[in-house]
Amino acid sequence: MSETMNELKSIEELNGALEESRVRPVLFFKHSLTCPISARAYRELQSYLENAEAQVSYQLITVQTARAVSNEAAARLHVMHQSPQAILVRDGRGVWNASHFDITAARLAEAIKGQLS
């Protein structure tokens, strides 16, 4: 099943996604529009999304257009800001994260599968 991402543009939307993580896992992807490494990681994410788990919510944070959301997510989830960065959240807390070249379709699938078991 092909899943789509919801782009977070406000702290209120971030709050909603964090609340949603109490019901099902939420994957946040922090993306830079100007970074070639982020573009590569985004392609890996898109590849994963072609056969993604439907029980997971997928949230995009574009660093350049939602800096406050990006900073708030880093602070609330207790992870150092990176871009690109994937953060898997369950029950309002980060349970897995990866950045840069560690973001691959296979690693995303493995991390998410582990939260659904």
The CATH number of the domain where 53 resides is what?
3.40.30.10
Q: Which pLDDT value is given to residue 117?
A: 78
The mean pLDDT of 36-64, rounded to a whole number, is 96
The mean pLDDT of 16-34, rounded to a whole number, is 97
Mean pLDDT across the chain, nearest whole number? 95
Indicate whether 51 pLDDT > 50: yes
Local confidence band at 1 (pLDDT 50, 70, 90 cut-offs): very low
Indicate whether 30 pLDDT > 90: yes
Indicate whether 2 pLDDT > 60: no
Which residues have a Cβ under 8 Å from the Cβ of 57 and sit 6 or more positions away? 6, 17, 20, 21, 24, 25, 26, 27
The mean pLDDT of 7-21, rounded to a whole number, is 98
Place of tokens 């989830």: 77
Task: Give phi and psi for 58, each to the nearest 5.
Answer: -115, 120
Domain total of the chain: 1
Flag whether 69 is in a domain.
yes
Flag whether 21 is in a domain.
yes
Query: What ranges in 64-104 are assigned the alpha helix state H?
Result: 67-77
Flag whether 1 is in a domain.
no
Flag whether 11 is in a domain.
yes
Under a CB-based contact definition with an 8 Å cutoff, are residues 61 and 89 in contact?
no
The mean pLDDT of 26-39, rounded to a whole number, is 97
Residue 104 DSSP SS3: coil
The mean pLDDT of 81-97, rounded to a whole number, is 96
Q: Give the closest residue to 33 by CA, choosing from 44, 22, 41.
A: 41
Q: Give the range of the structural domain holding residue 38, as residue numbers without chain letter.
A: 6-116
Flag whether 44 is in a domain.
yes
